[in-house]
């Protein structure tokens, strides 16, 4: 992508497009600058900004009775596992059951559902893999799909292709963890191009441009208030990948997340078109389904 970015609109190697830096009379949102600065301090990478998910942990005193109960639960789970194995072998379901009990999920079977899809791009195949873990999930509880659509763009802007990749979980399912991983088969190295409520990366070989974007933690905090998204970094950045990582999503209305993939020639006919294309409302994307 052509590099017409304002000097005051960048921290480390994470670039803010000039139009964004110029918002609010040339002032960046304080939390955006803080996010960029913290990312740079965490990694110091000259190539890209990998972002790591951090959770605060709390310690609590446990009584002797509680410790005995936990120990007895492990013993019972081990006995149950050996009994089940004697009848049906060391199946993944049996292992999921024992591990679930030892981690405090009594009487619930922790199931991991995987789904994947592949999108062709001008730079190589772009693969997506969703991993969703929760109590008693079945395949039909999870939906991963790619939907081509026309993004809402400022006047004159255009993209050659634009695809929304939507991950949806059936209503009422309590999740232990969720991962949505995108990886581009290319030798090009990504450059971060994040914005307000947007985590995004771009790849270019000098002729073709691919941009991938998703909601950042602040945007997720608005959609899921009280879940602590505002205090974490929900996306990991890699040189050829992006990963959305979420833990502990309670039972709620149908959970859903997305990536948007936009392509254009490089240089673009109208600069920043692909970047604007990946910055779409999640609510608008759900209307595509």
pTM: 0.67
77 and 209 co-located in one domain:
no
Side by side, the strands of the sheet bearing 142-148 are 142-148, 161-169, 256-265, 208-215, 198-204, 191-192
91 and 218 co-located in one domain:
no
**Paired sense of beta strands 142-148 and 208-215, if any:** unpaired
248 and 277 co-located in one domain:
yes
Q: Is residue 233 part of a domain?
A: yes
Look at the chain and report how many structural domains it folds into.
2
User: 205-239 burial, b for 16+ CB within 10 Å, e for fewer?
Assistant: eeebbbbbbbbbbbbbbeebeebebeebbbbbbbb
pLDDT of residue 194: 97
71 and 201 co-located in one domain:
no
Q: Is residue 275 part of a domain?
A: yes
Q: Is residue 276 part of a domain?
A: yes
Class of residue 14 by CB neighbours under 10 A (exposed 0-12, middle 13-18, buried 19+):
buried
pLDDT of residue 252: 61
**Paired sense of beta strands 124-135 and 110-121, if any:** antiparallel
Structure tokens belonging to residue 253: 């209305």
Local confidence pLDDT in tens for the 289 residues of the chain: 443 333 333 333 444 444 443 333 333 444 444 555 444 444 444 444 333 232 323 333 334 444 554 555 556 555 555 554 454 444 443 334 334 444 444 446 789 999 999 999 999 999 999 999 998 899 999 999 999 999 999 999 999 999 999 999 998 888 899 999 999 999 999 999 999 999 999 999 999 999 999 999 999 999 999 888 988 999 999 999 999 999 877 666 689 999 999 999 999 999 999 999 999 999 999 999 9
Angle at 189 between CA 187 and CA 192, to 5 degrees: 155
pLDDT of residue 56: 29
Q: Is residue 2 part of a domain?
A: no
Angle of helix 92-102 relative to helix 64-88, nearest 10 degrees, comes to 170
173 and 102 co-located in one domain:
no
> Do residues 2 and 267 make contact, with C-beta atoms less than 8 angstroms apart?
yes
74 and 22 co-located in one domain:
no
Q: Is residue 229 part of a domain?
A: yes
Range of the domain at 99: 64-108
* φ and ψ of 166, to 5 deg: -110, 130
pLDDT of residue 73: 53
């Amino acid at each position: 992508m052509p590099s017409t970015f304002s000097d005051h609109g960048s921290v480390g190697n994470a670039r803010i497009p000039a139009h964004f830096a110029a918002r609010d009379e040339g002032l960046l949102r304080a939390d955006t600058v803080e996010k960029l600065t913290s990312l740079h301090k965490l990694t110091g990478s000259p190539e890209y900004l990998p972002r790591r998910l951090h959770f605060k942990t709390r310690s609590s005193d446990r009584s002797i009775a509680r410790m005995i109960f936990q120990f007895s639960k492990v013993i019972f789970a081990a006995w149950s596992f050996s009994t089940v194995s004697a009848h049906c072998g060391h199946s993944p379901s049996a292992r999921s059951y024992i591990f679930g009990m030892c981690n405090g999920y009594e009487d619930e079977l922790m199931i991991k559902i995987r789904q994947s899809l592949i999108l062709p791009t001008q730079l190589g195949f772009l693969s997506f893999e969703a991993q969703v873990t929760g109590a008693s999930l079945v395949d039909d509880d999870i939906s991963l799909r790619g939907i081509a659509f026309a993004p809402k763009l400022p006047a004159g802007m255009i993209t050659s292709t634009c695809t929304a990749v939507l991950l949806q979980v059936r209503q009422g399912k309590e999740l232990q963890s969720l991962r949505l991983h995108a990886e581009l088969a290319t030798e090009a190295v990504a450059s971060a191009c994040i914005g307000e409520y947007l985590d995004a990366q771009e790849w270019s070989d000098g002729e073709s441009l691919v941009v991938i974007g998703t909601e950042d933690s602040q945007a997720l905090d608005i959609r899921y208030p009280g879940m602590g998204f505002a205090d974490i970094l929900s996306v990991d950045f890699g040189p050829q990948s992006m990963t959305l990582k979420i833990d502990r999503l309670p039972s709620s209305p149908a959970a859903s997340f997305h990536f948007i993939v936009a392509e254009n020639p490089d240089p673009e006919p109208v600069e920043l078109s692909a970047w604007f294309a990946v910055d779409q409302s999640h609510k608008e994307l759900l209307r595509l389904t």
